[in-house]
Amino acid sequence: MTTHKLLLLPGDGIGPDVMTEVRSVLAWIEKAGLASFEIEEDLVGGAAYDAYGSAVSDQAVDLAQQADAVLFGAVGGPKWDDVPYEVRPEAGLLRLRKDLQLFANLRPAICYGALADSSSLKREIVEDLDILIVRELTGGVYFGEPKEIIDLGNGQQRGIDTQVYDTYEIERITRVAFDLGRTRNNKVTSMEKRNVMKSGVLWNQVVTKVHAEEYADVALDHMLADAGAMQLVRNPKQFDVIVTDNLFGDVLSDIAAMLTGSLGMLPSASLGAPDARTGKRKSMYEPVHGSAPDIAGTGQANPIAMISSLSMALRYSLDMGDTATLVEKAIAGVLEKGLRTGDIYTDGMTKVGTKGMGEAILAELDVLADAAGA
């Protein structure tokens, strides 16, 4: 049986609350004989600042470099509002992303049937939706130079941001998207604005070339990003994997995520380049939500975003797609039975806390495993 190295970084606020439920799911997977895990744990964010005076220790970064996957809870909270800027809790997250060179951000939009009525769109448009937005995370207009506000000397100023992409940056994010497409429904839609942007023209050419030379077995579509935004709310189920740049990805992934409901439900992943020797990508998995100081330690946090982040790690870093599907089915089953944490509660459902939701998911895993064995 394969042993996988994991680093758990629970962080602050509800981070430790939801990470506890991930530990239980990992223990269940081991007990079921599906894999074994070598688990390291460290502090990050405000908790690391309190212990070491920095938002992440060198030791934790080393452990992250060696791990098959990092699971990250959340960081921040009012306690650390006044700490120096360079050691603020978020600096821990940014250093990990930078040191592990995580250039690909993955944001799935999955709509569980039982929650389809909570969406702002009609049930039939979002029910059973399962799409994945792959956003370039380290280039484009957020980082391009020049980036400045200059004085024009006539009482006017000029704000400048620069959208810039090199071939290698487009190639590597394109390969991530096609690799992921192959593990899903084998379809990638690339979005840019080639009608008005030179970087969009290059993006389109590079994606087309990588596809023809390396991934002709995957279906590829091109769509202008504004048309893509319309299609995401009109008929989102037409998509499987969407690949796009940093700016469009920021906007499109928020639109897609919100098709499906609460922050407490949304996982994410960030991936780096494949290791030259092992072929494994550096990776970090985290819920989209923050540390939710308003409910931290009260036992009310929804652990599903964190458990779904584990499920992404199983699928995309540990080659355990079947176990990921099992975990996702267990989550869907618990929601079908009407169990809800406060953030997704509606009248007539059964309200549970963090622990109750975690235990219900484990019980559902038992049922699914028994049924599969029978």
**Touching ligand NAD, residues 8-37 (CB under 6 A):** 14
- Binding of residue 333 to ligand NAD (CB under 6 A): no
Q: Taking the complex as a whole, how short is the minimal distance between the CB of residue 284 and ligand NAD, in angstroms? A: 10
Comparing CA positions, the residue from 145, 239, 149, 237 lying closest to residue 191 is 239
Is residue 88 part of the contact set for ligand NAD (CB under 6 A)? Answer: no
Least Cβ distance, residue 25 to ligand NAD (angstroms): 15
To ligand NAD, the closest distance from the beta carbon of 254 in angstroms equals: 12
Comparison of 68 and 286: residue with beta carbon closer to ligand NAD: 286
Supply the minimum distance, in Å, between the C-beta of residue 188 and ligand NAD. Answer: 27
Coil, strand or helix at 73: strand
> Is 142 an active-site residue?
yes
Of 246, 291, 309, 311, the one binding ligand NAD (CB under 6 A) is 291
User: Among 113, 144, 274, 293, which residue sits at the site for ligand NAD (rule: CB under 6 A)?
Assistant: 293
Closest CA to 122 of 233, 226, 228: 233
Can you tell me which of 19, 47, 75, 173 binds ligand NAD, judged by CB under 6 A?
Answer: 75
Minimal CB distance residue for ligand NAD: 290
Taking the C-alpha atoms of residue 117 and residue 262, their distance in angstroms, rounded to an integer, is 12
Task: State which residue, 239 or 285, has the beta carbon closest to ligand NAD.
Answer: 285
Q: Is 326 in the site for ligand NAD (CB under 6 A)?
A: no
Considering only the stretches 122-130, 192-200, 245-253, 288-296, report the one whose residues sit in contact with ligand NAD under the rule CB under 6 A.
Answer: 288-296
Kindly state whether residue 263 participates in binding ligand NAD, applying the rule CB under 6 A. yes
Q: Is residue 92 close enough to count as binding ligand NAD by CB under 6 A?
A: no
343 to 362: interface string for ligand NAD, x by CB under 6 A? x-------------------
Which value, in Å, is the radius of gyration of the alpha carbons in the chain? 21
CB of 108 to ligand NAD, least distance (A): 16
Residues pairing with 134 in the sheet: 106, 243
Pick 144 or 299: Cβ nearer ligand NAD: 299
Give the separation between CA 365 and CA 312, rounded to whole angstroms.
Answer: 17
Interface of this chain with ligand NAD, residues 145 to 164, rule: CB under 6 A:
none
Cα separations in angstroms, 203 against 154, 177, 345: 37, 14, 42
Q: What separation, in Å, do the N-terminal and C-terminal C-alpha atoms of the chain show?
A: 22
Cβ 255 vs Cβ 229: under 8 Å: yes
Strand, helix or coil for residue 324: helix
Q: How many residues are listed for the chain in this entry?
A: 374
- Partners of 6 in the β-ladder: 39, 69
According to CB under 6 A, which one of 95, 107, 281, 289 is a site residue for ligand NAD?
Answer: 289
Q: Is 181 helix (H, G, I), strand (E, B) or coil?
A: helix
Contact 30, 36 (CB under 8 A): yes
Interatomic CA distance for residues 156 and 161, integer angstroms? 17
Q: Which residue has the tokens 């448009």?
A: 125
Alpha carbon distance 192, 196 (integer Å): 10
Binding site for ligand NAD (CB under 6 A): 14, 74-77, 93, 263-264, 286, 289-295, 301-302, 305, 341, 343
Catalytic residues: 142, 193, 226, 250, 254
